[in-house]
């Protein structure tokens, strides 16, 4: 039981940076634009956080700076993919290359500087007495709750508001939404940039809470995992919550099994999250084999107004 509680706590903490990035990816893809630049945007978010925090020491200012720096890269992606109708895959990869390079360049001067940051923890004394749940939830940091709230809010936005329905229309059938008078480009710009901001937030979380000093390439592929988890979550923010924790939990579980000393090489234990993701997806796919896919139908396809019928 004790181990289980610790495992869930570890799952939440290791899933949260992923969760921010996955949520960002979901709203971008819901509008029909794949953003493969996640890795680069997260890195920019992290390095800007580090620089601004060293300068100001203010957590809120840092957060705003990180999010807006990420929005800058998001804008480039949006401009290339929406206005210029470039290939979204190449544009995203270019964002990753550029963001990785730029973050390394900016971070040269501050590498190795320790950040004296303490992210406020939300203490919930009334919850502490509740068995099991109390130990997990009564002492989490602020941004974990922010990420959970964001997931719920995004869910409500996407499925319960008319704006969210428009968003779905833009992602599924831009020509129809155009006829309906919805600005396809406007929606796409807004959501790509907002999505990038969330990816920047993921970078912010990673450096502020996870490992408070800048190291080149510190995301170490988490951006790519996030892109994969978008699909795992079937473009649903609430599923994203589960998927991120599932993935993070298996990651943490691998290390714990190592400690049991049962002779499985650590490499195979580290495969756990990847293998299970594929297996779970196969199971879900088998169960849903008669249902239509959840993917936004026009994902990755630039919209040409002239093509409307």
Partner 1 sequence: MNQKITAGQPSVPMKKGLRRFRSLPFRIEYDPHKKSGGWWIPLLSIGAALAICALFIALNGMNPAVVYGKMLQGAFGSSFGFSETLVKAIPLLLCGLGVAIAYRISIWNIGAEGQLIAGAIGATAVTIFAPNLPGPLYIPVMMLAGAAAGAAWGLLTAIPRAFFQVNELISSLMLNYIALLLLDYFVFGPWRDPEGFNFPGTPIFTPSQMLATIGGSRLHFGLIFALIAVAVFAFLLSKTRWGYELRLLGANPSAAAYSGIKANKHILIVMMISGGLAGFAGMLEVSGTAHRLMYGISPGYGYTAIIIAWIAKLNPWAMIVSSVFIGGLIVGGYSVQTIGLPSSMSLMLQGSILFCLIGGEMLSKYRLKRVSEEGK
Partner 2 sequence: MKKLLGLFLLIMMFSILAACSQESASDPVKEEPAKAVDSESTEPKKIVKPRVAFVYIGVPGDGGWTFEHDKGREMVDETFSIESTTVENVPEGPDAERVIEELAQNHDIIFTTSFGYMDPTVNVAKKYPDVVFMHATGYKTAENIGTYQGKGYEPGYLAGVAAGKLTKNNKIGYVGAFPIPEVIYTINAFTLGAQSVNPNIEVSVVWSNTWFDPATERQAAISLLDEGVDLLANYQDSPAGIQAAAERGVWGMGNDSDMGHYVPETYVTNPVLNWGPYYVEVVQSVVDETWKSGAALNGLKEGMVDIAPFGKNVPQDVQDLVNAKKQELIDGTLNVFTGPIKDQTGEIKVADGETVSVEDILGMNWFVEGVKGTIPK
Q: Is 194 in the site for partner 2 (CB under 8 A)?
A: no
**Are 92 and 35 within 8 A, CB to CB?**
yes
Query: Judged by CB under 8 A, which stretch of 69-77, 128-136, 174-182, 265-273 contacts partner 2?
Result: 265-273
Q: Is 252 in the site for partner 2 (CB under 8 A)?
A: yes
- To partner 1, the closest distance from the beta carbon of 160 in angstroms equals 26
User: Among 160, 163, 186, 210, which residue interacts with partner 1 (rule: CB under 8 A)?
Assistant: 186
Contact of residue 76 among partner 1, partner 2, none (CB under 5-8 Å per partner type): partner 1
Query: Judged by CB under 8 A, which stretch of 32-40, 76-84, 176-184, 263-271 contacts partner 2?
Result: 263-271
Contacts 24+ apart (CB under 8 A), 66-70: 66/200, 66/201, 66/203, 66/204, 67/197, 67/200, 67/201, 67/204, 68/197, 68/200, 69/44, 69/45, 69/200, 70/41, 70/42, 70/44, 70/45, 70/196, 70/197, 70/199, 70/200, 70/201, 70/203
Residue span 228-267 as binding mask against partner 1, x where in contact by CB under 8 A, dash where not: xx-xx--------------------------------x-x
Q: Is 169 in the site for partner 2 (CB under 8 A)?
A: no
Residue span 85-114 as binding mask against partner 1, x where in contact by CB under 8 A, dash where not: xxx-xxx-xxxxxxxxxxxxx--x------
Contacts 24+ apart (CB under 8 A), 273-281: 273/247, 276/246, 276/250, 277/228, 277/232, 277/247, 280/232, 280/246, 281/231, 281/232
Three-class DSSP category at 57: coil
Q: Name the one residue in this structure whose structure tokens are 């709230």.
A: 149
Backbone angles phi, psi at 216, to 5 degrees: -55, 135
Using the minimum distance from each CB to partner 2, give the nearer residue, 98 or 157.
98
- To partner 2, the closest distance from the beta carbon of 153 in angstroms equals 26
State the burial class of residue 71 (Cβ atoms within 10 Å of its Cβ: 0-12, 13-18, 19+): buried
User: Among 60, 181, 259, 309, which residue interacts with partner 2 (rule: CB under 8 A)?
Assistant: 259
**Are 188 and 30 within 8 A, CB to CB?**
no
DSSP H/E element including 139? strand 139-141
Using the minimum distance from each CB to partner 2, give the nearer residue, 132 or 210.
210
Residues lying near partner 2 in the complex (CB under 8 A) are found at 3, 6, 10, 13-14, 17, 104, 107-108, 111-112, 114, 206, 210-222, 251-252, 255-256, 258-259, 261, 263, 265-267, 270
Residues lying near partner 1 in the complex (CB under 8 A) are found at 40, 76, 80, 83-87, 89-91, 93-105, 108, 183, 185-186, 216, 221, 224-225, 227-229, 231-232, 265, 267-268, 270-271, 274-275, 277-278, 281-283, 285-286, 288-289, 293, 295, 304-307
């Amino acid at each position: 039981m004790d181990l289980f509680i610790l495992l869930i706590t570890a799952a939440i903490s290791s899933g949260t940076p992923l969760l921010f990035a996955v949520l960002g990816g979901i709203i971008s893809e819901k509008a029909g634009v794949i953003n493969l630049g996640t890795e680069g945007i997260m890195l920019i978010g992290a390095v800007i956080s580090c620089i601004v925090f060293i300068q100001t020491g203010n957590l809120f200012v840092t957060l705003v700076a990180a999010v807006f720096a990420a929005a800058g890269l998001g804008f480039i992606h949006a401009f290339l993919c929406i206005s210029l109708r470039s290939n979204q895959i190449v544009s995203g990869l270019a964002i990753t290359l550029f963001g990785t390079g730029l973050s390394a360049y900016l971070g040269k001067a501050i590498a190795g500087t320790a950040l004296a940051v303490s992210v406020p923890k939300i203490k919930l004394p009334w919850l502490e007495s509740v068995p099991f749940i109390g130990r997990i939830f009564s002492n989490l940091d602020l941004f974990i709750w922010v990420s959970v709230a964001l997931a719920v809010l995004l869910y409500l936005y996407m499925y319960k508001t008319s704006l969210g329905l428009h968003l779905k229309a833009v992602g599924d059938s831009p020509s129809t939404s155009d006829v309906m008078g919805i600005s396809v480009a406007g929606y796409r710009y807004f959501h790509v940039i907002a999505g990038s901001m969330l990816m920047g937030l993921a970078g912010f979380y990673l450096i502020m809470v996870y490992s408070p000093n800048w190291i080149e390439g510190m995301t170490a592929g988490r951006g790519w995992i996030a892109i994969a988890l978008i699909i795992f979550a079937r473009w649903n923010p609430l599923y994203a919550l589960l998927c991120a924790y599932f993935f993070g939990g298996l990651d943490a579980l691998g290390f714990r099994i190592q400690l049991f000393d049962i002779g499985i090489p650590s490499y195979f234990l580290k495969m756990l999250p990847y293998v299970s993701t594929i297996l779970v997806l196969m199971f879900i796919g088998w169960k849903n084999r008669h249902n239509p896919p959840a993917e936004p139908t026009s994902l990755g396809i630039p919209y040409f107004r002239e093509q409307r019928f």
